[in-house]
Amino acid sequence: MMKVSFKEKGKPMNTTTLVQQFTPRTTLQEESKHKILTELEQYGEKLYFRESLHGHMTASAIILNPQLDKILMVHHNIYNSYGWTGGHADGETDLYSVAYKEAQEETGVEKLYPVSRSILSAEALPVQEHIKKGKQVTAHEHYNLTFGFICSEKEKIRIKPDENSGVKWIEIDKLSQYCTEANMIPIYEDNIRYIQHLMEEKKKNYKRLPEKLLNWYQKNARDLPWRKNQDPYRVWLSEIMLQQTRVDTVIDYYNRFLQAFPTIDALALADEERVLKLWEGLGYYSRARNLHKTAKIIVAQYEGNFPETHEELLKLPGIGSYTAGAIASISFNLPVAAVDGNVLRVVSRITEDYRCIDEEKVKKEMGNQLAEVYPENQCGDFTQSLMELGATICLPNGAPLCNECPAIEICMANKNDTQIFLPVRKEKTARKTRELTVFVFVSQGKVALQKRTEKGVLEGLWELPNRDGMSEEDAVSLYLEELGTLEYRIEKQKKAHHIFTHIRWDMVCYYVHCTHPFGSYIWAGSEELEKEYSVPTAFKKFLSFKDLHDLNTFEK
Q: What amino acid positions are annotated as catalytic residues? A: 239
d(CA 509, CA 439): 5
Q: Indicate the SS3 state at residue 511.
A: strand
Can you list the pairs that 12-20 forms with residues at least 24 positions away whose Cβ atoms lie under 8 Å?
12/93, 12/94, 12/96, 12/97, 13/96, 13/117, 13/417, 14/93, 15/40, 15/57, 15/93, 15/95, 15/145, 16/40, 16/41, 18/95, 18/118, 18/119, 18/145, 19/119, 19/122, 19/145
Answer for the pair 238, 338: CB distance below 8 angstroms, yes or no: no
Buried-exposed string 173-187: b where 16+ CB fall within 10 A, e elsewhere: eebeebbeeeebeeb
Count other C-beta atoms under 10 Å from residue 15's C-beta.
Answer: 24
Residues sharing a CB contact under 8 Å with residue 185, sequence separation 6 or more, in sequence order: 175, 176, 179
- Spatial CA neighbour of 156 closest among 195, 113, 112, 116: 112
Answer for the pair 286, 293: CB distance below 8 angstroms, yes or no: no
- 128 — phi, psi (to 5°)? -75, 160
- Spatial CA neighbour of 365 closest among 386, 380, 344: 344
- 164 — phi, psi (to 5°)? -125, 160
Please state, in angstroms and as integers, the Cα–Cα distance from residue 433 to each residue in 4, 164, 427, 508, following that order: 24, 48, 18, 14
**Helix ranges (DSSP H) in 243-285:** 247-260, 264-269, 272-279
Beta pairing partners, 506 = 435, 497
Q: How many CA atoms lie within 13 A of 111 on its CB side?
A: 16
- Spatial CA neighbour of 417 closest among 20, 97, 47, 38: 20
- Dihedral sign (CA 92, 95, 97, 98): positive
Phi-psi region of 5 (alpha: psi -120 to 50; beta: other; left: phi over 0): beta
- Spatial CA neighbour of 68 closest among 205, 197, 203, 184: 197
Cis peptide, bond prior to residue 423, ω within 30 of zero: yes
Answer for the pair 37, 121: CB distance below 8 angstroms, yes or no: no
The radius of gyration of the chain's CA atoms, rounded to the nearest angstrom, is: 31
